[in-house]
Structure 1
């Protein structure tokens, strides 16, 4: 065999190999294009035999782009709580890169940092995606569609979790449209105490879009499961400096979009840089919320509403001015959590004696220092509530 023949054969093999790789790359890109979208798992009774029942306790969904998959429930790693020794889960994130190779989809795990098989692509018919998790189990996802242009946007979102009979996180987090974050970790979270931080534009947009997809203004004010000892989640939405909605959710009984929005915002503190605040100034009661009290009537604020008031007081001017007090601002115990103090290391700079207000001015009177008066610049009660929100004080 002559040298020319040998070179021709080698060149032909290389050319065929390049064409095969191009064809395979084209086929892989076509799979990627079919995967792109927002998807929710279709619960099939046959899946129960292949997955534990707790696998379906929360709705499963994901957003797939051409280079990443955002799993709405996220990825976690077990840790031990430094205060109590109890197990707690640390959030690692929810978005991973992926690769497609001959219909097989591999993701890069946030837990192991290694590439691992996730599914085999089977088909996409209309708005239904079919994937195989193993040789015999076919799972189906239905496409989710949202028109964000028709859904209300917000300037600030405040999320709070109460804790439970167990190791549920106790926290408050406020994020503004500009990405400014104020965070309080009260228990069963990595960061205990008060912190500030800033989110990048993309993460901020993702958080706000998730809540917009839930369309909070069209939802009920409260949701609840029918068992005891669970946690209460409250979320407050701010438009133009005013509370437009607060949703209470006992045990994650809310809509699927609401739950998916919780998962990212409630865990974002684990994957962002936080700067500690040395003290809770203004004074904020540990394991308590704010309640306005006047005569025999009270207005208890939800946990997220209390933290919202604190974020407003934190921006307020300190003034030396007298005013006519109309209300007391008292502290109501967080009755969802009955265990020992999970953050014993947190102490107040000063011991509080009394807080009085007219809605705009707030005078904090201490046992061991001079009083401090804050001016919000507006009346918090008149802007966000009305007299019908006050109820009779049954504990008077």
Structure 2
């Protein structure tokens, strides 16, 4: 009897030690890691809003990489200067698939009012995508201007992070050609976002049903073949592609760049910009009254 009871206790202890932690037992700093989306916010263009957390950086509401910190359940986003942050929220509820942010300071309340007409912003977790590992030689990316301040750029980056960049307009550095090396942490992040895409299922073009917006496109060289995809307006494309494009637009901001006019002669795939840019749909016909 003692032997049986002892065996049972050992089995119970072993199972308890090796069972995965429940979601709520994990630290809040681990639970918020990942990609979150607020679908169809109440804004003029009715666009979805992305919020993405990595261990040390956050991709925030303004589509930029910024610092953040957690103090208890208080979330500080976008460090303007030491220990001074643009946004302060209280995490009211963090379920496995939902993140509820209560606005605390004036900037957060102003943002929440614009996006939701209340002090609360609710984001849903983008479900983890199936992992699709593949090896690429090089990727090329571009973004165009829009009827506004959309950053326009083109770059090529190989699998080791060698980076050739052209700033065109509304980037944080002056127009011109640059060369650099993408930091290893950023390179790992980009590869992780890439591998969430089932690249062989991507359509060549995704077009939103409005005008005057930005187009982004990617060309993935796979050695003897390639895949390319373009999205106009961020509306019809897979969410994973939208997240990737948002990250790619900010790679240059974390890369130490050196001006180099010879970069323009080193670009290999720049023509793909013109091969696949989807034209915006025509405006709807005017109906007579």
TM-score normalised according to structure 1 size: 0.51
- Written as runs of structure 1 = structure 2, the 5 A alignment for 1:18-33 is 32-33=28-29
Aligned twin of 2:65: 94
Aligned twin of 2:209: 226
SS of 1:213's equivalent?
coil
Aligned twin of 1:250: 232
- Written as runs of structure 1 = structure 2, the 5 A alignment for 1:316-335 is none
Compared CA separation, residues 126 and 161, structure 1 to 2 (3 A)? closer
Does 2:94 correspond to 1:124? yes
SS of 2:249's equivalent?
helix
Tell me if the contact between 2:58 and 2:65 (Cα under 8 Å) persists in the aligned partners.
yes
Superposition deviation, residue 200 in structure 1: 1.6
CA distance in 1, matches of 2:38, 2:48: 12
CA distance in 2, matches of 1:255, 1:117: 29
Match of 1:182 among 142, 164, 170: 164
CA distance in 2, matches of 1:195, 1:175: 12
Superposition deviation, residue 172 in structure 1: 1.1
Does 2:255 correspond to 1:267? no
Structure 1 gap segments, 5+ residues each: 1-28, 76-92, 291-300, 307-333, 337-396
Superposition deviation, residue 40 in structure 1: 1.9
Tell me if the contact between 2:39 and 2:47 (Cα under 8 Å) persists in the aligned partners.
no
Aligned twin of 1:144: 126
Aligned twin of 1:90: none
Compared CA separation, residues 269 and 257, structure 1 to 2 (3 A)? same
User: Per-residue CA shift, 1:147-203, capped at 9, x if unaligned?
Assistant: 564444533211012334555433211111101001122334323222211012111
- Written as runs of structure 1 = structure 2, the 5 A alignment for 1:196-207 is 196-207=179-190
Aligned twin of 2:153: 171
Does 2:147 correspond to 1:192? no
Superposition deviation, residue 98 in structure 1: 0.5
Tell me if the contact between 1:232 and 1:251 (Cα under 8 Å) persists in the aligned partners.
yes
Tell me if the contact between 1:39 and 1:63 (Cα under 8 Å) persists in the aligned partners.
yes
Aligned twin of 2:33: 37
Q: How many residues align?
A: 239
User: Per-residue CA shift, 1:13-39, capped at 9, x if unaligned?
Assistant: xxxxxxxxxxxxxxxx96525633324
CA distance in 1, matches of 2:131, 2:74: 35
CA distance in 2, matches of 1:305, 1:335: 9
Superposition deviation, residue 223 in structure 1: 0.6
Compared CA separation, residues 146 and 302, structure 1 to 2 (3 A)? same
TM-score normalised according to structure 2 size: 0.67
